[in-house]
Structure 1
């Protein structure tokens, strides 16, 4: 898939949560293709992916192994990215967990774990990014989901966090705007990562979802690269406090 080139992203310091697998790996690849200096955090070893990027782009992203639910560790990796590439100019809060669950089986411990991954980590990553962007400005892109807009059942702790991400995005955009820091959310539809295909994408479910889409083609991780690059770049320099939907036409906004 051919991507638009955004010259202002060349050499930019970019930090991505969960940037070594699934959708996040596509984002890392996309920013590397723009000439950005990418650092990413992930729990699992990403050595093979780093080597793949080295072969493709002639340079490697900075892999920082860690768990985003450990706030101290998350912030430490963001400071490592700052030391390696300069102050973060683009933060992409991508890592998430949409584990299926019912209200009946949810426990307080499970709730806290889901919010730690899907909302708390986003908030404190934004705080550290804002510190690094102070004086120069920057762009924060928070991944949400159309799941909460649809009122989907089966993962209420996740959809609650998604709604929180949108509210947080709007408030932080207001707070950080005077520092020339833009904060936007991106709400994808059902992006068919390998995890989705392995765990939840049944033929019946895929067919039903396709009926809801205007565009009759399933979303792939690469479909998110262009929208994220747009939100990260000067192409959207006067866009902030927005939640941009990229879902093939399932939900409507405005």
Structure 2
């Protein structure tokens, strides 16, 4: 693994991450903890959350279902009560479950938007007042290159992820006067354990490598590194933009 950068501006900052117990989210939790930040994360998986938090210093978590906005707000309040007002919010939680367009019901559509989009806005609404009091902050929304690639097999997910970019740009405008930066990180196909277990069969990987400019599959650590940069003072003039971590596969 390469020697990665240290960002002194992240030390002792309060960082909140949704969906932090596994996959890309867990990689972010570990990366921020290694920078000396105070990290809080939300997740639905009690076992994975406890295991991750117990292995790190300065990390706290709350269990909640992000589709329940009132429960999420309560959990965010508990984390900021313990750790202090957030300097960084990472809206990471999502699920890319496959579904055929013919089978989508109105109820399933609404549930997919609640899982992949709705909580992002209400987390911003909950956390931004504390950032305003702090004099600024960084909000990072996790997008996806699935819709950039015109990927099929999950129309409700792809629609939600496309909407993340609109959310980022409008909130960057609304919060910019408070020196709150809002950006989108756009991962490609990241080799989390979930992806390896469910979808990373040899034929699919071969086709994906052919679409990428770079030949290597993408480890979650590289998404976390982009998020660290955008959270740090090094990115002080970066807002309302997309930051791609997809090995040139669009």
Do the structures match in fold with TM over 0.5?
Answer: yes
Q: Does residue 1:20 correspond to 2:21, yes or no?
A: yes
RMSD: 0.9
Aligned to 2:84: 86
So what's the TM-score if we normalise by structure 2? 0.96
Aligned to 1:155: 154
Q: Report the Cα distance in structure 1 between the residues aligned to 2:131 and 2:76, rounded to whole angstroms.
A: 12
Q: Does residue 1:227 correspond to 2:226, yes or no?
A: yes
Equivalent residues of 1:81, 1:88 under 8 A apart: no
1:109 CA displacement: 1.0
Aligned to 2:53: 50
Equivalent residues of 1:115, 1:161 under 8 A apart: yes
Equivalent residues of 1:219, 1:247 under 8 A apart: yes
1:218 CA displacement: 0.3
1:60 CA displacement: 4.0
Equivalent residues of 2:61, 2:79 under 8 A apart: no
- For the residue of structure 2 that corresponds to 1:148, the secondary structure is coil
Q: Provide, for residues 30-71 of structure 1, a one-character-per-residue CA deviation record: whole Å limited to 9, x for no partner.
A: 000000000000001121112222xxxxx2410111111110
How many residue pairs match? The answer is 246
Q: How do 1:243-254 residues align onto structure 2 when only pairs under 5 Å count? A: 243-251=242-250
Unpaired segments of 5 or more residues in structure 1? Answer: 54-58
Unpaired segments of 5 or more residues in structure 2? Answer: none
- For the residue of structure 1 that corresponds to 2:40, the secondary structure is strand
1:81 CA displacement: 1.6
Q: Report the Cα distance in structure 2 between the residues aligned to 1:14 and 1:87, rounded to whole angstroms.
A: 9
- For the residue of structure 1 that corresponds to 2:94, the secondary structure is coil
Q: Provide, for residues 8-35 of structure 1, a one-character-per-residue CA deviation record: whole Å limited to 9, x for no partner.
A: 1000000000111111000000000000
1:3 CA displacement: 2.2
Q: Provide, for residues 77-105 of structure 1, a one-character-per-residue CA deviation record: whole Å limited to 9, x for no partner.
A: 11112111111110001110100001101
Equivalent residues of 2:37, 2:58 under 8 A apart: no
